[in-house]
């Protein structure tokens, strides 16, 4: 996961030090540690999702042949289909891929000063071509998603076909939209970014405020920068965060859990790295990236004994949540 964040950030900004910063902030963001230790589908979901982002971005920014671009895009589609098989909200990221890809194709035919930064990416989508775009963004995700049901059908001794797939997905939809959930461990989606109360029932899960609040500031700066001069890195992190976060405002689920913020939170560290590429590298002679990593590590260390469920007296080594 951390290596995927590093590669994705490097593809976006082309700076290994900023890519290292994003990877470090991801490592110390608490969500990654807690979610990787519990038996939930989210860890697989994020694995496929992040590597899909790497493959998709590489298909646009790397100086490679058209054939390799198509392979990367199709690979991204396969991975996003597998992510959707883990959790349906991967469809939001797929929608961003679709929007960005076809917006870049349209930008190629509308020359304007503010579109110039997208020219090279527009050429990439032109080289990929519409058939490969549809294959990578429509057919490949559907096929990889559907094929994940084949082992289940064999295990249940049920036929693997369209009717069975529809029936299984209808069941999932009804289950997701009718289960009430436990109101004592749920939170409103708009409260997630500023939350400082740990989820005691989920290994004291709470976002690292250095990443959470710093990431929100970075997103605001990216939005202001994108408004003045549109660039792919800022636009992509803004769209991905917005699609993964604001979807919960319209989801039909009755109860929302704090850990649903996981995909959005993973994007915040990358947003901070993207933001810093246009800002001074040092403050009072110290690199800003180093300061952010030190502060993030300090908060992670404070949370670690209880997130790791250390035995007494080590569980309250840096103080206890009550």
The string of pLDDT tens digits covering residues 134-156 is 888 889 999 998 888 888 877 87
User: Higher confidence at residue 31 or residue 117?
Assistant: 31
Asked if the model's pLDDT at residue 81 lies above 60, the reply is yes
Neighbouring CB atoms inside 10 A of 313's CB total 8
Per-residue pLDDT, 11:
92
pLDDT score, position 72:
92
* Calpha distance 174→169 (Å, rounded): 9
Using only C-alpha atoms, the chain has a radius of gyration, in whole angstroms, of 21
Q: What is the per-residue pLDDT for 151?
A: 84
Q: In this structure, are residues 278 and 225 in contact, taking their beta carbons and an 8 Å threshold? A: yes
Q: How far apart (Å, rounded) are the C-alpha atoms in residues 238 and 228?
A: 14
| pLDDT tops 90 at residue 102 | no
Across 213-227, average pLDDT: 87
Span 154-180, average pLDDT: 78
pLDDT greater at residue 80 or residue 181? 80
- For 260-312, the pLDDT digits (tens) are 888 888 899 899 898 888 766 666 666 777 788 888 998 888 888 888 777 77
Cis amide leading into 186 (omega within 30): no
Task: Kindly report whether the global pTM for this prediction surpasses the value 0.85.
Answer: yes
**In this predicted structure, what is the pLDDT of residue 225?**
80
pLDDT tens for each residue of 52-68: 999 999 988 888 888 88
Residue 78 banded pLDDT, cuts 50, 70, 90: very high
C-alpha pair distances (Å), 106 with each of 10, 118, 120, 121? 26, 11, 13, 11
pLDDT for 319 beyond 80:
no
Residue 79: per-residue pLDDT? 94
Q: What is the pLDDT of residue 154?
A: 79
Report in angstroms the alpha-carbon separations of 60 from 36, 63, 121, 166, 319: 30, 9, 5, 34, 47
Q: How confident is the model at residue 51 (pLDDT cuts 50, 70, 90)?
A: very high
> What percent of the chain clears pLDDT 70, i.e. is strictly above it?
90
């Amino acid at each position: 996961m951390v290596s995927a964040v590093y590669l994705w950030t490097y593809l976006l900004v082309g700076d290994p030090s900023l890519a290292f910063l994003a990877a470090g902030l991801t490592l110390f963001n608490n969500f990654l540690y807690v979610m990787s230790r519990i038996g939930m589908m989210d860890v697989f979901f994020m694995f496929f999702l992040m590597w899909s982002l790497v493959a998709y971005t590489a298909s646009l920014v790397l100086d490679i042949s058209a054939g390799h671009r198509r392979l990367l895009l199709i690979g991204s589609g396969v991975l996003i289909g597998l992510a959707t098989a883990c959790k349906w909200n991967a469809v939001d990221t797929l929608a961003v891929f679709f929007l960005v890809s076809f917006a870049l194709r349209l930008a190629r035919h509308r020359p304007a000063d503010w579109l110039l930064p997208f020219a090279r990416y527009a050429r990439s989508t032109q080289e990929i071509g519409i058939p490969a775009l549809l294959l990578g963004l429509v057919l490949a995700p559907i096929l990889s998603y559907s094929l994940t049901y084949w082992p289940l059908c064999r295990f249940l001794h049920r036929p693997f076909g369209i009717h069975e797939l529809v029936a299984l997905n209808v069941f999932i939809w009804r289950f997701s939209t009718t289960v009430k959930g436990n109101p004592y461990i749920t939170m409103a989606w708009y409260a997630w970014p500023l939350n400082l109360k740990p989820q005691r029932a989920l290994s004291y899960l709470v976002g690292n405020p250095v990443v959470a609040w710093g990431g929100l500031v970075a997103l605001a700066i990216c939005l202001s920068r994108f408004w003045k001069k549109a660039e792919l890195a800022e636009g992509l992190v803004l769209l991905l965060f917005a699609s993964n976060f604001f979807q919960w405002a319209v989801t039909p689920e009755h109860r929302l859990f704090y850990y649903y913020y996981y995909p959005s939170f993973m994007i915040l560290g990358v947003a901070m790295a993207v933001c810093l590429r246009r800002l001074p590298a040092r403050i009072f002679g110290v690199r800003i990236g180093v300061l952010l990593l030190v502060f993030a590590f300090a908060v992670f260390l404070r949370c670690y004994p209880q997130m790791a469920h250390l035995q007494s007296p080590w569980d309250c080594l840096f103080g206890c949540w009550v």
